[in-house]
Each structure stands twice: as structure tokens, then as C-alpha cells.
Amino acid sequence: MNPKTIKYIIKRLILAVFTVWVVITLTFFIMHAVPGGPFMSEKAVSPAAQAALEAKYGLDKPLGVQYVTYLGDVIQLKLGPSLKQRGRMVIDIIGDGLKTSAKLGVIAAFLALAIGVVLGSVAALRRNTVLDRVIMIITTAFVSMPSFIVGSLLLVLFAIKFHVFPANGSTAAGLVLPVITLMLYPMSYITRLTRSSMLDVLGQDYIRTAKAKGVSKWRIIFVHALKNSLIPVITYFGPMLAYIVTGSLVVEQIFAVPGIGRAFVQSIINRDYTLIMGTTIVLATFIVIMNLVSDILYKVVDPRINLE
Amino acid sequence: MDKNLKRLSAQVDLSDFMPASDEDKEYMVKMRESTTFFKDGVRRLRKNKVAMISFYVIVIITLASIFVPMFWPYQYETMLGMQPGQPMDASFNNLHPFEYSSSEQARIAAGEKVFPHIFGTDSQGRDYFIRVVYGTRISLAVGFFASIIVLVIGIVYGSISGYAGGKVDIVMMRIVDIIYSLPDMLMVILLASVMRMTLTEALEGTVLEKIGSNIISLFIIFALLYWVGMARLVRGQILSLREQEYVLASQTAGAKGSWVIRKHLIPNCISVIVISTALQIPSAIFTESYLSFLGLGVNAPMPSLGSLASDALNGLSSYPYRLVIPAIVISLIVLSLNLFGDGLRDAFDPKLNS
């Protein structure tokens, strides 16, 4: 790695840390903008009890002190108790949800990558044939459909009409439809990305040189063309994970998957503010880190890319 | 005069001034009307079949969503079973397409004409067709206005940053970088869920109350988060344009910064701006429907395509068409807008098409 790359990585790291700090600060002040404060309950609490509660959670201190305390707590992953699920800590709820969500997300991301790259390469190699057209039409359609619509339609078709898969996503078989819903958009996007970059690479001089040297067709496709055409796909890695995280909010809601996305949506419906803030911070940090990794990877893989 | 004779420079050769022959004249015939940049782009756009079909689809959907509610006999918020002074008529609820309630059937039997419920009614006895039409109107309006907000903020911010350059540019662009790296959807949900609490009280009694706190908070969110892409784009354009000679000429003649930006720089990057605005509209519609689906979109009883789809989930096994109809409309709008935006890009900015 040359010094320029290292300088770039350091710059991005600082930006990422700064972004996470902005997220935490935003959530803190948004939380304080909520009328009634986060520890308001439906039942009327006596002023003495209210004061005791506020003292217990440090709400009687000045805002600046509270902010510093909150910042420290978040770094130690202390996100406070849930307001609506009595006796449960936000971090435990997130931890439980994360196990299911991670499974869902990793499978969806892997499938989207694998199928997308294959379809995209096929479309590029069979350019302007019926196969290419069909792939492009289908992927264009999927890019235009919001995930909640894809998910609901799949639910109607395969769970309610034909009973192929269960509608409830808490079992292994029930994860099939959520995974499909989640992966269709990134898969379509990767297909289009791979196709265009593959076409670009196939027109390059070094492919012609390889052909002239008598390299076999498959070696050209896999070693010379595919490897280079995957570079733009790496840039999509970060946005894809961001999509999967936000997509899972809706998908888990539709299929009743007990993941972090469902916890998040439920917390919005129940107005469980500490849980809303906690999940936002955890997921936002995850997305920021993944974007950072994907950007750095992109620059490291292709040294030709200008670092600015 | 002898042809080979050497002429002095001031001497005129009369043969150069002979009337042109027909053959000469043919060279000067205009083969085609000379064209402006705009006309040329429109010509290219018209040739693009996919873009033109998409354009007509958008126009038809937009016009329908504006004009159909004007003459449709049902209103989107009227619960047909709830007539003043009469007990609730539950037979209006959950009608299938082209079904009639018991009272309507009685009127038909008496020889009266009753306007059909093309898509049936929803669980509260509201005509579903007009709800879909109205929801389309809301979704389109939200997409359109949100894009305008993004456009205005992005242009102002981006052009100032690009034209000022130096330290101002660096600071302004660092702010953009941070907002850009915020996970937008999560921040949108966070802001929307909290803002509708605080805004509902603040808006009470004002004109804005009618629009609803959720739509207002959606606009605020777009104004806060989504302008950064446009700002970056405009800045990049301005950066390269401000080195042009005509800018120097204008400055030499004493033009101020705002004049140069308005008269020289913005008009020259207008095509890029228009294209990315066209592509911003579907993404705004997407965001709105997504938020509506999570229950953070428009306030009830106002429908949007997202909230209609979300409401349909409750009766999914009995009334799947209630989901399918808004799903088709929303996909059609987003798809057409995307394809039209792509067509615009190909027609007006061939450079971008790489």
C-alpha cells in the first residue's frame, strides 16, 4: 500500500467515527425533543416518584452532563431499559433480534451476489439475445418494486394461495420467502451492474490480446473478464448491506420474523423511544462501518482508482 | 486582361463576383432546420420508444389522479354505510369489485341507476377505486414537492460551494460528506417517528394542519437529508464550468458572484440538474410509500399508495386485490419515471451515459 492509500484510509476512518458521533448526538437530542421525556408513562405518577425516577436515570442533571453520560453509555453499549417491554434492556432485545436478522441478511446478501454476478455475466456474454432481454426486463421490474410490495405479493402467492411455504418466518422453512424478498432488489441491481461492467471489460484491448494469444474462452471469461468486471460490484457492497438492513425492517414485519427489524418497527408503533434510539444507533453504526470497508476495499483492489 | 498577368493586391478580379450558378446554389440549401440544444434533445427523446411510452403513462396517471376525483360520485373519506340520521349499514363494508350493498341492490331493483364500486369497498365501507386514485395523487404530489425541495436546496448550496471554492468549499463539502454517510432510511424513520409527535401539536390550528404532520415531517426530512446528492452534483458541474472563459469575461466586466452563478453557471448545468430531479421523484415516492407502510406516512383517513398497501395486509387472504392494485400502480409509476429519467439522460446528456 502506498502512502496515498494509507492517508485515504485514515481520512475515511476519521469521517466514519465523526458520522457515528453525529448519529449518536442526533438521537440524543431527538430523544430530548420528544414531548414528556422518555420516561413518561401512561399512568399518573406522583411528583415525588417522578423526581425519584428522574434522579435514578440522571434526568435531573443539566443537559450537557446528560449528553456526556449518554455518549459514554453508548460507547459501552449501555442503551438503557426498554420503555414498553418491562424489565428488558434495549441491548438484550437487539442482541436477540440480531441473531435471526444476521442469518437472514447474510443468506440474502450471499445469494444476491452469487445469482446477480452469474446472471449479469450471462447477459453480457449473450448480449442482445432473447436471454439477455429477458434478464434485463425482469431485473428492471424488480428494481422498480418496493420490497414491501414484493414481500406481500410473495406472501399472497406462496403462503396463502398455494401453501408452499409457511407465512410465519420464525421457522427455518419460513425464512425462505423473507430471504427471497430481501435479495431480489440487490440481486437485480448486481445483475445490471455486472452486465454493464462486463460489457465494458470485454471491449478492452487486453481481452483481444488474450484471444490472439489463444487463451481458452473460459479462461478469458473467468480470469481476465470476470475478475475485473467485479470491481464496481465491490462498491455496491456497502449500499447493499444498507439496503438489506432497511429492507429487513419491512420484510420482518410482513413475515413476522423475530429479528431486529421487527423489534425496531414494533418500537415505533409502541413509541418505545429508547428502543428506537438504540436500534438506530446500532444499525447506523453497522452501515457506516460496512460502507467504510467497501470503499477501502474498492480502492485497494483497483490501484488505478484516483483516491480523491 | 491576360489571365496569367500578375495582379496587384488592390486589383479586383471581376470573375469572382459573377452570379452563382444553380450548381453553386445547391450547396447553400439548408438540409435541415438548424437546431438548438433543447430541440435536439427533444428529437432524440422522441425517438426513444421506451421513454415516450413511459412519458405517456406518467401523463395519463397524473391527469387521471387530478381529474377523476372531480366527477367521481364517491369521496375517498366517505364511509358509505354511515349516513347521517340512520343506523350503520354494514353491508357496505368489504364489498368485492362490482358488488352492491343491500340498500343499493334495493335501489337497483326499484329501477334507479347506482354507480358501481369498480374495486369494491374497504373494511370501513369506503369506495376503493377513489381511494386508489386519491392515494396516487398524494404519492405523486409528495414525490414532486420533495424533489423540488431537494432541487432548490441542492442548487443553492452546491453552486455557492463550487463557485466560492477554497476554505468555504472544503467546509461546506465536509458537511455534505457527513450527511451523505448517514444511513438515510434509518435517520428518516427516527426523525419521522419523533417528529410526528412534536409537529402535531405545533401545527394545530394552522393551514398546514390539513396536509398533516406526517407529510410535513416527510418534507422536512427531505430538506434535511436528501439534498446532498444534488449539491454534490451541482458543485462538480460548477467547479468545471467556472474555469471557462466566458465566466472570466463576465467577471472582468464587473459581474458579481450571484450574477455569474445565475446567468452563466446554472443555465449551463441545467440538463444535468433536470435529469437528476426526474430520477429523484421516483425515489421520493419510494421513500413515502415505505414510510406509509411502516405507519409513518400520511395521516388517516388520507390514503397514499403505501398506506393502502399496508392496510391491505390485514385482510390479505380474503381481499388480495386490495394489495395488488396499489402495488401495480406504484410499480408502474416508479418504473415509468425511472425509464423516462433514463431516456432524458440519454437524450440530453450523452456524456453521462457510460
Closest CA to A106 of A183, A171, A166: A183
Task: Compute chain A's Rg from CA coordinates.
Answer: 24
Decide if pLDDT at B76 tops 50: yes
Across-strand partners of B220? none
Set of cell numbers at residue B337: 419515471
3-state SS, one letter per residue, for chain A: CCHHHHHHHHHHHHHHHHHHHHHHHHHHHHHHHCCCCCCCCCCCCCHHHHHHHHHHCCCCCCHHHHHHHHHHHHHCCCCCECCCCCCCEHHHHHHHHHHHHHHHHHHHHHHHHHHHHHHHHHHHHCCCCHHHHHHHHHHHHHHCCCHHHHHHHHHHHHHHHCCCCCCCCCCCHHHHHHHHHHHHHHHHHHHHHHHHHHHHHHCCHHHHHHHHCCCCHHHHHHHHHHHHHCHHHHHHHHHHHHHHHHHHHHHHHHHCCCCHHHHHHHHHHHCCHHHHHHHHHHHHHHHHHHHHHHHHHHHHHCCCCCCC
The verdict on residue A305 lying in a domain is no
Q: Which of B290, B312, B335 sits opposite A144 (nearest CB)?
A: B335
Higher pLDDT, A117 or A44: A117
Determine the pLDDT at residue B5. 64
Q: How confident is the model at residue A308 (pLDDT cuts 50, 70, 90)?
A: very low
Q: Cα A237 to chain center, whole Å?
A: 9
* CA-angle at B329, arms to B324 and B335, nearest 5°: 120
Task: Compute chain B's Rg from CA coordinates.
Answer: 30
The verdict on residue A105 lying in a domain is yes
Averaged pLDDT for residues B154-167: 89
Q: Which of A30, A145, A152 sits opposite B331 (nearest CB)?
A: A145
Over residues A26-65, the pLDDT tens digits come to: 888 877 776 655 555 555 567 777 777 777 766 677 888 8
The verdict on residue A201 lying in a domain is yes
Inter-chain touch B189–A283, beta carbons under 8 Å: no
The verdict on residue A47 lying in a domain is no
Determine contact: B116 vs chain A, CB below 8 A.
Answer: no
Determine contact: A290 vs chain B, CB below 8 A.
Answer: no
Listed in sequence order, the residues at least 6 apart from B4 whose beta carbon sits closer than 8 Å to its beta carbon are none
Determine the pLDDT at residue B354. 41
Burial class (CB in 10 A: 0-12, 13-18, 19+), A288: buried
Taking the C-alpha atoms of residue B334 and residue A192, their distance in angstroms, rounded to an integer, is 18
Give pTM, 2 decimals. 0.78
Inter-chain touch A287–B320, beta carbons under 8 Å: no
Is B162 within 8 Å of B169 (Cβ atoms)? yes
The verdict on residue A154 lying in a domain is yes
Decide if pLDDT at B275 tops 70: yes
Q: Which of A33, A144, A145 sits opposite B198 (nearest CB)?
A: A33
Element (H, E) at B37: helix B37-47
Listed in sequence order, the residues at least 6 apart from B134 whose beta carbon sits closer than 8 Å to its beta carbon are B65, B69, B76, B302, B303
User: CB A276: neighbour CB atoms within 10 A?
Assistant: 29
Over residues A124-168, the pLDDT tens digits come to: 999 889 999 999 889 988 888 888 888 888 888 887 777 778 777
3-state SS assignment for residue B296: coil
Closest CA to B138 of B330, B331, B332: B330
Q: Could you give the percent of chain B with pLDDT greater than 90? A: 7
Set of cell numbers at residue A197: 461492467
Over residues B237-252, the pLDDT tens digits come to: 888 888 888 888 988 9
- The packing angle between helices A130-143 and B321-348, to 10°, is 110
Domains and CATH numbers, chain B: 40-64+131-352 (1.10.3720.10), 79-126 (no CATH)
Across-strand partners of B127? B121
Listed in sequence order, the residues at least 6 apart from A306 whose beta carbon sits closer than 8 Å to its beta carbon are none
Q: Could you give the percent of chain B with pLDDT greater than 70? A: 89
Upper half-sphere CA count for residue B304 (Cβ side, 13 Å) = 29
Determine the pLDDT at residue B353. 45
Is B48 within 8 Å of B341 (Cβ atoms)? no
Decide if pLDDT at A15 tops 70: yes
Over residues A194-221, the pLDDT tens digits come to: 998 998 888 889 899 999 999 888 888 8
Q: Which of A26, A152, A283 sits opposite B313 (nearest CB)?
A: A152
Q: Which of A64-68, A115-119, A291-295 has the highest mean pLDDT?
A: A115-119
Residue of B nearest to A280 (CA): B186
Domain count, chain A: 1
* CA-angle at A206, arms to A201 and A208, nearest 5°: 90
Averaged pLDDT for residues B120-149: 86
Q: How confident is the model at residue A78 (pLDDT cuts 50, 70, 90)?
A: confident
Q: Which of B87-91, B230-234, B297-301 has the highest mean pLDDT?
A: B230-234
The verdict on residue A274 lying in a domain is no
Residues of B numbered 308-327 whose beta carbons fall under 8 angstroms of chain A's beta carbons: which are they? Answer: 309-310, 312-313, 316-317, 320, 323-324, 327
The torsion angles phi and psi of A89, rounded to 5 degrees, stand at -90, 145
Inter-chain touch B294–A276, beta carbons under 8 Å: no
Mean pLDDT of chain A: 83
3-state SS assignment for residue B90: helix
Averaged pLDDT for residues A274-295: 84
Averaged pLDDT for residues B127-132: 86
Mean pLDDT of chain B: 81
Determine the pLDDT at residue B102. 75
N- to C-terminal Cα separation, chain A = 16
Which residues form the domain of A203? 90-260
Q: Cα B137 to chain center, whole Å?
A: 12
Q: For position A186, which CATH number holds?
A: 1.10.3720.10
The verdict on residue A115 lying in a domain is yes
Q: Could you give the percent of chain A with pLDDT greater than 90? A: 16
Inter-chain touch A27–B190, beta carbons under 8 Å: yes
Set of cell numbers at residue A31: 430523544
The verdict on residue A13 lying in a domain is no
